[in-house]
């Protein structure tokens, strides 16, 4: 699925979080920046008792040539958002980047799309986590048999899974 804008994409991610018991904030301004003429604005912060606060930078990409946008997101997190506090003194310890994973390989031959998809996601997970300690938030829209889901730090001991229940478990 392609998204017209980052806002539309983050709307879906936010709805998934809300549907699964998370409290969310969009374009949240860090404590120290509130009186600035052009304050920093974090795309999305969410909270759930069992998860704590998680900050998210979203980037709407639709091609394999969008590495610059991901680099921009990393730069924003490290240099702008990470050193700040939020909501009158709360430090956010977990940060993630979210990109629309299902759009990256739309123009790729169907035979290879699954392989490419898996390799790109595995690369992004490891690259972001090992070099920057930033997680990849993976959002998967609703499918015929499964509700929408979010995974953070997939295939690690610290994995966070939100949603993804079967539509047939009622």
The two three-digit tokens of residue 169, written as one number:
């478990």
Angle, helices 67-76 vs 110-132, to 10°: value is: 30
The predicted pLDDT at position 67 comes to: 82
Model confidence pLDDT, tens digit, residues 9-22:
999 999 999 999 99
Q: What is the dihedral of CA 118, 111, 140, 149, to 10 degrees?
A: -70
Say how many Å lie between the first and final Cα of the chain, rounded. Answer: 27
Residue 56 host element (H or E): strand 52-58
> Are 92 and 55 a contacting pair, CB within 8 Å?
yes
> Are 2 and 8 a contacting pair, CB within 8 Å?
no
The two three-digit tokens of residue 91, written as one number:
């430090």
Residue 54 host element (H or E): strand 52-58
Q: Among the CATH numbers 1.10.101, 3.40.1350, 2.40.128, 3.90.1200, which is that of 6-163? A: 3.40.1350
Q: Identify the segments of the chain with pLDDT beneath 50.
A: none
């Amino acid at each position: 699925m392609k998204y017209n804008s980052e806002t539309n994409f983050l709307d879906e991610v936010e709805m998934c979080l809300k549907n699964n018991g998370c409290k969310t904030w969009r374009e949240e301004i860090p404590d120290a920046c509130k009186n600035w003429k052009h304050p920093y604005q974090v795309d999305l912060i969410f909270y759930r008792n069992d998860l704590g606060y998680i900050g998210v930078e979203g980037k709407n990409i639709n091609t394999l040539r969008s590495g610059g946008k991901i680099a921009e997101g990393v730069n924003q997190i490290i240099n702008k958002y990470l050193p700040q506090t939020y909501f009158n003194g709360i430090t956010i310890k977990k940060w993630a980047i979210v990109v629309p994973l299902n759009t990256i390989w739309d123009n790729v031959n169907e035979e290879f799309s699954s392989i490419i998809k898996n390799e790109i996601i595995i690369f992004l997970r490891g690259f972001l986590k090992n070099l920057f300690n930033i997680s990849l938030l993976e959002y998967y829209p609703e499918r015929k048999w499964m509700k929408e889901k979010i995974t953070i730090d997939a295939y690690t001991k610290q994995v966070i899974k939100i949603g993804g229940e079967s539509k047939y478990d009622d």
